[in-house]
Amino acid sequence: MQYFESDYMEGAHPLILQRLLETNMEKTPGYGTDKYSRSAREKIRRACGCPEAEVYFMVGGTQTNATVINSLLHAYEGVLAADTGHINVHEAGTIEAGGHKVLTLGQTSGKISAQTVAKYIGLFNSDVNNEHMVRPGLVYISHPTEYGTLYTKAELEQLRAVCQEYKMPLFLDGARLGYGLTAEGTDVTLEVIADNCDVFYIGGTKVGALFGEAVVITKPNLIPHFFTMIKQHGALLAKGRLLGIQFDTLFTDDLYKRISKHAIHMAEKLKKGLVEKGYRLYFESPTNQQFVVLENEEMERLSKKVSFGFWESLDSNHTVVRFATSWATQENDIEELLKNLHPAVTMGQEITIMKSEEAISIGSEEQLEQFMAQGETAVLYFSSEGCNVCQAVFPKLTNLIHPRLIRTAKINIDEHPEIAGQLLVFTVPTVLIMYEGKEILRESRFIDFQRVKRTLNFLEEADRAHSSNRP
């Protein structure tokens, strides 16, 4: 059995195990006050170019997110995050259990923009009833995101500017940070992150450590008594040297980046092989996570030999799955996986892409009004330029539409935010099915194509019946 389900399937890098064994019988002070933890902190400060940073070690990502977010927020505040963010989707309500609400924002390929954050805060501040509402007090982002996408330096700078304007901290979840730092084409370094984020953490659990995350607070005393807060959250490890030794090793001789870069090379080899076999990538990810569309029969067959992550059901015949490489993945692992994959059925045989002249691009509110006045049934598709998910979803959507009966319009929310705002569209992709000017169905982000198909079939029949009754 092969394991590509996640990047924490192996134990730890051999150098870490060697250091733990070499120091095993030493007696050291507890709670991270030992010499190894002190050394690791200093190496991390140097790597971040932030000599005044406070560095703390914790065991796991969910524990770290909960402790940091609870420590930064007042009781009446919530945290702004992408609706796909880990704290919103895959942490079992940990933030809410701590007394804080996750305030979700629309995203593009897993990323939130400074404009989206500013708009949310502006709407909150202008609401005369905001004293009865959860106040946004913190912005949370992941790098890499849950979609395997990366922020740019410019995007981080824009987010920092908005956070500074509204006096809100910016917190970056770096559970897979090594794979983001070493991805091809990125301009984001540890120094860039330290310059723009108030708090971030360097993931160890998924990048070579047995366990552990290193929290970096770039502004001294931003969180008073954070050591005590860690203890209060049950996150203070008595044998703290076990964490210190691991991060001291990872930040010696550039080991953290070297092993992360290896995972990227393995992911690129996998991506190349998937494309050559005819598989369609659902997202364009430059990191160690690769998302691919599998026929359900092939997925069932492959699951007997390979462990992989379920992402979402694309339609009744296809599923999106994730393969994750790690610091420990070997070339023969990739070769065996590709060997186990049968050549893909050409997706083009199943998905008919609507001709450009059949899908109208809407460029103004007036044009939208004219479009809506031309017929009874219409589909509005909202997307954005950098949204890889949107590009994957649109061909599947058009395959369900009879162009002679139902008209389709595309709206780019980056170019026309006023149209998106008018129809309360805050995330992409979004599909609106309209009948006689009224919204019949709305599907956002994870599109339920079966619901879309049932609705369109019903409306097509209604249109045919209406046409046959005309004199």
Tokens describing residue 145: 């995101």
CA distance 37 to 327: 23
Pick from 442, 436, 450, 356: nearest CA to 403: 356
Report yes or no: 16 and 209 within 8 Å, Cβ to Cβ: yes
**199 forms bridges with which residues in the sheet?**
171, 217
Write down the pLDDT at residue 466.
Answer: 53
Write down the pLDDT at residue 298.
Answer: 92
List of residues 6+ apart from 146 with CB closer than 8 A: 82, 84, 85, 86, 89, 90, 110
Bigger pLDDT: 65 vs 461 = 65
Q: What is the dihedral of CA 179, 180, 183, 187, to 10 degrees?
A: -150
326 pLDDT more than 70 = yes
What is the mean predicted confidence (pLDDT) over 106-131? Answer: 92
Write down the pLDDT at residue 402.
Answer: 65
The residue with tokens 């015949």 is 317
Pick from 177, 180, 188: nearest CA to 153: 188
Q: What is the dihedral of CA 122, 123, 128, 129, to 10 degrees?
A: -120
Give the type of residue at 450: Q
Residues of the chain with pLDDT > 70, as a percent, come to 93
395 pLDDT more than 80 = no
pLDDT tens digit string along 23-57?
A: 999 999 999 999 999 999 999 999 999 999 999 99
108 pLDDT more than 50 = yes
Write down the pLDDT at residue 465.
Answer: 55
Tokens describing residue 86: 């880990």
Please count the other Cβ atoms lying within 10 Å of the Cβ belonging to residue 254: 12
User: Which domains, ranges and CATH numbers included, belong to the chain?
Assistant: 12-256 (3.40.640.10), 260-348 (3.90.1150.10), 356-468 (3.40.30.10)
Rounded to 5 degrees, what are φ and ψ at 453? -65, -45
Write down the pLDDT at residue 405.
Answer: 62
- Chain centroid, CA 245 distance in Å: 30
Report yes or no: 87 and 69 within 8 Å, Cβ to Cβ: yes
Q: What is the mean pLDDT of the chain?
A: 90
pLDDT class of 355 with cuts at 50, 70, 90: very low
pLDDT tens digit string along 265-320?
A: 999 999 999 989 888 888 789 999 999 989 999 999 999 999 999 988 877 788 99
Give the type of residue at 102: V
